[in-house]
Amino acid sequence: MSSSLDTVSPNITTMIRMDHSHVLAAFRRFKPHASLGKKHALVANVCLALEIHAQLEEEIFYPALREAIGADEMLDKSVPEHDEMRDLIGQLRALEPDDPLFDSTFRALIRTVLHHVADEETMLLPKAEEVLQGELGLLGWQMTKRRMELLGPHAAEVAATTARTFPVGSAAVMAGIATIGWLLLRDHRPRSSLASRLSR
């Protein structure tokens, strides 16, 4: 079942790494001398992506990993790091791009996320691939399904900010992937007991 689901969506650790890559690419595109409109769009895109990513991890990835490994110091500090990130996102949303604090607050968010990503990439994801081998595809399918639900109300915002901050080709590819994912998920239902548990 896991391998058949991998044709619909990547497994969960691959998806988390893809999210990391997307946000890190956006960070690299942030330039202090960019137009205010481009800065605002890029930061809005990053903030929404981070919020959805954090919610997906907290709802799906962390509980599955905790069930498999029990108490873990790295896992214990993951949600507080998300909370720190959310606090910075709240501060950013209260600022205009021409505010002197806007750039420094965004750089603080970058530092927080880079630290968190390093921990996940070097510790949590390899551990998950070791202990959740048979469940990674099912968890990835669940994450894809939940991502579509969370993105739904923000579809126009995502399209606008992506088009404004990323090259046209990249934006088109991302839109195409999202559309294909939605079409496939609409009719595809995993049949295993784990999938039934996850869909509750």
Condensed to tens digits (0 to 9), the pLDDT of residues 6-18 reads: 445 689 999 999 9
Average pLDDT of span 51-78: 95
Q: Which residue has better confidence, 182 or 39?
A: 39
CATH number of 2-198, picked from 2.60.460, 1.10.3210, 1.10.3470, 1.20.120: 1.20.120
Q: What percent of the chain has pLDDT over 70?
A: 76
Handedness of CA 71, 120, 53, 199 (dihedral sign): negative
For residue 67, the model assigns a pLDDT of 95
Q: Please state, in angstroms and as integers, the Cα–Cα distance from residue 113 to each residue in 3, 24, 29, 36, 47, following that order.
A: 31, 9, 16, 23, 11
Q: Which residue has the higher pLDDT, 170 or 100?
A: 100
User: Which residue in 111, 93, 7 sits closest to 44, CA to CA?
Assistant: 93
Q: What is the rounded distance in angstroms from the CA atom of residue 165 to the CA atom of residue 4?
A: 34
Q: Using only the alpha carbons of the chain, give its radius of gyration.
A: 17
pTM of the model: 0.78
3-class DSSP assignment, residue 94: coil
Phi-psi region of 18 (alpha: psi -120 to 50; beta: other; left: phi over 0): alpha
Q: Using an 8 Å Cβ cutoff, are 116 and 85 in contact?
A: yes
* 185 SS3 class: helix
- Taking the C-alpha atoms of residue 37 and residue 9, their distance in angstroms, rounded to an integer, is 33
Tokens 């991890």, located at residue:
57
φ, ψ of residue 115 in degrees (nearest 5): -65, -45
Name the helix (H) or strand (E) containing 168. helix 168-187
